[in-house]
Amino acid sequence: MPERTHRMAVTAYIVHDGKFLLLKRTNPPVIWGPPGGRLNPDENPNEGVLREVFEECGLTVKILHPVDIWYGDFGRGIYVSVDYLAISPSSEVSLSDEHSDYIWSDMNALRNGQPSLGSAAPAFTIHDFQRAWELYQKLL
């Protein structure tokens, strides 16, 4: 079998009552962002994002639609990531050890830097959340 050159990852932009879930990482880079992570070998991205969300914050979500696919090298190899828009029927979060805090934040708060998304790779930008929000509004 040929050597894999890219790592696969997934991210979930989770909406509940018009707000996005952001988690604060415990380890560097200590940034706020949506839940997500690497896929297990041969794992389907749809299944992987559901697993990552449940492992990181204890939520069972419904995937609405892919938001974006991107790639980048963040010093630990080249990643290809699928970003999903998802909804949660609950706002009750149970954090894993990977995160120290969470917040449900609407687009106005995010635009005003609440919480600060940071700039360390792989930091998420307001444009990432805006793209997810626009898709959410179209799908309502």
Q: Does residue 13 belong to any structural domain of this protein?
A: yes
Whether pTM > 0.85 for this model: the answer is: yes
CATH number at residue 13: 3.90.79.10
Q: Taking the chain, what is the end-to-end CA distance rounded to the nearest angstrom? A: 44
Q: Does residue 95 belong to any structural domain of this protein?
A: yes
Structure confidence by residue, pLDDT tens digits, 66-112 = 999 998 887 778 889 999 999 999 999 999 999 999 999 999 999 99
Q: Does residue 24 belong to any structural domain of this protein?
A: yes
The total of structural domains in the chain comes to 1
Is the pLDDT at 122 greater than 80, yes or no? no
Q: What is the mean pLDDT of the chain?
A: 93
Q: Does residue 1 belong to any structural domain of this protein?
A: no
Note down the domain range covering 69: 6-139
Cβ-Cβ contacts under 8 Å for 53 (sequence gap 6 or more): 12, 14, 35, 36, 59, 60, 61, 86
